[in-house]
Amino acid sequence: MMHAQFDPIARQALAAAAVEAKIAKDLTWQQIADAAGYSTAFVTAAVLGRHPLPEQAATAVAALLDLGDEAAALLQIIPTRGSIPGGVPTDPMIYRFYEMLQVYGTTLKALIHEQFGDGIISAVNFKLDVKKVPDPESGERAVITLDGKYLPAEPF
């Protein structure tokens, strides 16, 4: 049976413990994702408290990080989502994404609506990928792919 979490404190504590274990064991997010059997972005988000993991994946991650059975069970619970309490983010990396949406949000909205019509991009039926690519002019670039299902607005 799926359960939902309403108090995010336990999941935040688990995320902190998982990151500490990741550092202590000198693991990468890719290695943790490989153990779970899902994409790096999905597993990272799950370990950081944004998604539940299926039982087998949760058990594998908890074992890899030596977190125990209680952590494996908690990793399976649907979390309370949302990661920017208090408004505008202050972490420079997260703020830059906020800034990108401030600058390009209306452009994205206009282009998506022109191509698809009225609706939204799903954050549930969604894929995320981050790649480092060489750039002869600036050294390295980050290529971020946001791939979400389009959901049309329906009159009712």
Residues known to be catalytic: 96, 99, 122
Residue 89's contacts (CB-CB under 8 Å, 6 or more residues apart) are 95, 98
Tokens, residue 109: 């909205």
DSSP secondary structure code for residue 137 in this structure: T
| 151 contacts: CB under 8 Å, gap ≥ 6 | 119, 120, 121, 122
Residue burial 18-40, b: 16+ Cβ < 10 Å; e: rest: beebbeeeeeebeebbebbebeb
